[in-house]
Amino acid sequence: MTTETPAHARPPIAKRVPTERTHHGDTVVDPYAWLTAKDDPETIAYLTAENEYTDAVTAHLAGLRDKIFNEIKERTQETDLSVPSRKGDYWYYSRTVEGSQYGIHCRRAVAPGETDPPIPADGAPLAGEEVLLDGNVLAEGHDFFALGTFDVSPDGRRLAYSVDFAGDERFTLHVKDLTTGEVLPDAVPEVSYGSAWSADGSVLFYLTVDDAWRPYRVWRHVIGTPTADDAIVFEEPDERFWVGVGLTRSEKFVLVEASSKITSEVRAIPAHAPLSEPVLIAPRRQGVEYSVEHHGHRFLILHNDGAEDFALAYTSADNPGDWVPLIPHEPGTRLESVDAFTHHLVVSLRKNGLTGVRVLPIGGTDSYDLEFPEPLYDVGLSGNPEYDTNSIRLHYTSFVTPNSVYDYDLVTRALTLRKRQPVLGDFDPDGYEQHRDWALAEDGTRVPISLVFRKGVARDGRAPLVLYGYGSYESSMDPYFSIARLSLLDRGVIFAVAHVRGGGEMGRRWYEDGKLLAKKNTFTDFVAAARHVTKAGWTSADRIVARGGSAGGLLMGAIANLAPDAFTGVVAEVPFVDALNSILDPSLPLTVIEWEEWGNPLESAEVYQYMKSYTPYENVTAQAYPQILAMTGINDTRVLYHEPAKWIARLRHVVPDGTFLLKTEMGAGHGGPSGRYDAWKEEAFVLSWILDRLGRATV
């Protein structure tokens, strides 16, 4: 814990009447609830003052921030082009241009006899390209820009796209005629992610949200008709369920999926008859999750009915009914998705903490898993819009291998590298090592830890280390390459990921053991990982900075309360640190949906007391905390800005001699700044703060 100098005066806290709430006989006083009033001038003034204070406290890092930003920029091939994917008569791709913040989405007609994707080494535009959408043009005059839907109709004549200029993920949907370049008057405001075209491109399905920001309605729009005449195709009244819509790869069906955290239900609409009523594939049963992929005469069903790590079955596409087993349940092998092609099925899976790909030739019994040589990696399907193909596109990366795109021939089994992310300068992957270690949790569970570091870093307890964690929603923190991370590694910092329970790295049971009334396992696993890397000689407690975001920000707040001595710094990005108050308020975005992840403290006194015992805001105590940097966005609809604002205010009050910083993006949301250069600047800000805490802040 450090003491601030008088020059860094803290922002004043407005004197407001505290808010009281009572649940299950427990009355709690919340002195900072007034910060939830986003439109109150005092709230804006407070957030602005916090930003000014953070700027003052970190002013000495300005030179290092600039250096790191330039390192990221100089290592990045700014003018670049993605590997084109074939769909029908076109290659589709995106590209970036040096000096421009956003990507440009393009296509080019397939030349006669052309089978391999055209990939210019310098990232230059393809000869004869057609620009479908230029994010830089759309973003003109706006401080924030994000693209939601980007969906070309099956016949290639129309493009549905949606834009957000605030960061609150409320999009406006547009339709562009790709034959004329005209943006049609078919605009719809306040839509969510997701869309689907009919087979002939005459009808567009899209989603809207309710007051709690839950996608709950699927609409049908006939192109060229007033949007006021659009029809509701499906509406989900149960507030636990989130609705999605999409067109199958075969382009035969539009699928409407309603899913909660633990239950799902799918309906199908023939894409050639878009005015038809949706047909239910299987009715929802509490606790049973299933997803659907179309393949010929059948629907493939990936499900967990009596199969904790999921199994694959199928049913008739003409008359859905009983499920016929195809791949039985195999404990320890988590089946995550299935992709259907004319002659092959491809299953994405997870086993022994690593992702994998399994190929099933149709009519054969010789299914097999693809193999890769590195001890840590992440592999999966990428794109693959074509149904009738014998080749699939894969992405591959590791901590030391830049993002790589492969084409895999399903007939010859040849794996062809199409492109590896360029890393400019003197980067050499052989100069780094990656390693898998294991910590022992309080209950004896072995918790995997993934580490990467520059060769030559001594394992003598003196190396600084960044420990990252998430641990919620069955989301896995798989190894991935980061150009920005090189600025840490090249300064002798070890980067590590604690694969704590609540994530999905070790299968469905790993997730179940880190949610609801087992949530504290997530936090104690992370602390166990921190204790282990010190005991194993990777680092020492005064050289560890913890980092996490969103639900991982909840983890950061919890471990700061639980084991402050284990860390010298904590970075909490868009952190869910006021979880109990948020989950108690069903009017807030996403709250009801979240009850199956965290529990319902409104109805259950047990859940209430359990959540109250770990939520960071409720458990700030007068102890020596590590320095904390909290990052948020004022337009965030997933974790509202006031959660970290209240948390930092309470920390300051309870621990007056601590150093706690709050940085609020005043025009962004959950994902932070939208432009790539702005995102690099924000990452440089965070990395410079981390290096300062680790004693490596030399310019």
Give catalytic residue positions. 550, 636, 670
Distance of alpha carbon 339 from alpha carbon 506, whole angstroms: 22
Q: Which secondary structure element, helix H or strand E, spans residue 272, and what is its range? A: none
* Pairing label, strands 415-420, 404-409: antiparallel
* Pairing label, strands 298-303, 290-295: antiparallel
Q: Is 394 exposed, middle or buried (0-12, 13-18, 19+ CB in 10 A)?
A: buried
Q: Would you give the DSSP letter of residue 540? A: -
Which amino acid is it at 325? Answer: P
> Residue 450, CB half-sphere, CA atoms under 13 Å: how many?
24
Distance of alpha carbon 537 from alpha carbon 463, whole angstroms: 9
Cα-Cα end-to-end distance for the chain: 24
Q: What is the DSSP string of 385-398?
A: --SS-SEEEEEEE-
Which amino acid is it at 322? Answer: D
- Minimal CA–CA distance to 504: which of 473, 468, 549, 469? 473
Distance of alpha carbon 14 from alpha carbon 683, whole angstroms: 31
Q: Which secondary structure element, helix H or strand E, spans residue 689, and what is its range? A: helix 676-693
The residue to which tokens 């432009």 are assigned: 675
* Pairing label, strands 85-87, 354-361: unpaired
Distance of alpha carbon 27 from alpha carbon 267, whole angstroms: 45
Return the structure tokens found at 15.
Answer: 């004197």
